[in-house]
Amino acid sequence: MHGNALVDKIADSTPDTLSVAATPPTEASVRDDAKARVPFSLRGLGRTLLTVLPLAVVVFALLVAILGPTLGGLDPFEQDLLQRNKGPSAAYPLGTDHLGRDVLARLIVGTRLSLEAGLGGVLVALSLGGLLGFAASVAGGAAETAFYAFVDLIRAMPGVLLALLLVVALGAGLGPVTVALGVTFAPIFAYVARATYRRELAMDYVTAAESFGASGWRILMTHILPNVSGAFVTQGAIVLPRCIVTESVLSFLGLGVEPDTPTWGRMIAQASQFIERNPTAVLAPVIALSLLTISLALLGDRLRRRLDPRRIDEGAAA
């Protein structure tokens, strides 16, 4: 994009005729000129908003998750059986569910659970896939081939199906769900490990370290890892919303965390049976889930463009 920056600069400092003369008037450059001439560009504003708004949503969700349950006065389990399936009111800002429980209180606890499951899943996936991937790559040879054949196998399974089987196999609870999500998404990080390790291995600084007699592990830990951590952070940011969605699908299907736990997926599943009488109880978690997902996805995309211009396609095409 060197050319565009140049065109912008010329267009800023000189009359239009000069900029047209300076660059061949292709369709693209003419369009860029038009853009550069507008001092306050809508496109730029849109781009800023696309970063600021998602960031605000995520920060808000984090605050809710951390502070929400400690605020007091909100009980996600208390049943007010006379106030079942009620719409928003002063006492219950988002209404009540089919057992007369406070939807807002449940939504707040659900925020924490979604983020815990999502972040936990990413951490498990990152450490599992990353560590094993690096270990296999350093070992090389048959170990690497066998390990990546297994990774390919897991990768080829439909994600929801694999997570479903894993979570049933591991049992109910937040811990098992986190592990199930971690295993499901681990292959992505294993591919990142292999791709980055191979890329860095070809670099001169690795050859230099080798010539000093450093071992494979030493080179990995002290030289390669600091250079590739950006790729892992980026991939983690991309996987996070998908982890959160997968958790909610599992809860929606009645699997995963304990039946009583107010996760968003569980809330949606329960309230959808009374959707006609009380749409708010469904809409609240649906909107919360999609808002958080889209915000995290947009931020992840920003991060990818900022930190990792070299795309790791294996990881991205999931």
Return the range that interacts with another protein (CB under 8 A); candidates 3-11, 59-67, 88-96, 160-168: 160-168
- What are the start-end ranges of the H helices in 88-140? 103-139
Residues with Cβ < 8 Å from 206, sequence gap 6 or more?
200, 219, 223, 224
List the structure tokens of 177: 């769900």
Task: Look up residue 159 and give its amino acid.
Answer: G
Q: Which is nearer to another protein, 166 or 312 (CB)?
A: 166
By CB under 8 A, residue 201 contacts another protein: no
Q: How far is the CB of 272 from another protein (least distance, A)?
A: 5
Q: Which of 5, 56, 203, 275 binds another protein (CB under 8 A)?
A: 275
d(CA 108, CA 262): 9
Which of residues 6, 53, 62, 170 is near another protein by CB under 8 A? 170
Nearest to 240 by CA among 200, 294, 288: 294
For position 291 contacting another protein by CB under 8 A, the verdict is yes
Instruction: Compute the Cα dihedral for 108, 110, 114, 120 and give only its sign.
Output: positive
Is 119 among the residues that bind another protein (CB under 8 A)? no
From residue 51, alpha-carbon distances to 16, 44, 55, 240, 243 in Å are 32, 11, 6, 17, 21
Nearer to another protein, 196 or 246 (CB): 246
By beta-carbon proximity to another protein, the closer residue of 204 and 276 is 276
Site track for another protein across 216-255, x = CB under 8 A: -------------------------x---x--xx--xxxx
**169 binds another protein, rule: CB under 8 A:** yes
Q: Which of 24, 70, 204, 276 binds another protein (CB under 8 A)?
A: 276
206/288 with CB nearer another protein: 288
How much is the CA Rg of the chain, to the nearest whole Å? 25
Residue 166 near another protein by CB under 8 A:
yes
Using the rule CB under 8 A, is 53 a contact of another protein? no
CB half-sphere exposure, 77, CA atoms < 13 A: 4
Q: What are phi and psi of 112, to 5 degrees?
A: -65, -45
Give me the least distance between CB of 241 and another protein, in Å please. 7
Closer CB to another protein, 75 or 152, in the complex: 152
- Residue 236, both tokens: 């983690």
Dihedral of the CA atoms 237, 242, 245, 250 (nearest 10)? -130
**Which one of 53, 157, 201, 233 is in contact with another protein (CB under 8 A)?**
157
Nearest residue to 220 via CA among 129, 131, 310: 131
- The yes or no reply on residue 186 touching another protein (CB under 8 A) is no
Tokens 């000093």 belong to 212
Number of residues interacting with another protein: please give it, by CB under 8 A. Answer: 43
Residues lying near another protein in the complex (CB under 8 A): 149-150, 152-154, 156-161, 164-166, 168-171, 241, 245, 248-249, 252-255, 265, 268, 272, 275-276, 279, 282-283, 286, 289-291, 293-294, 297, 317-318
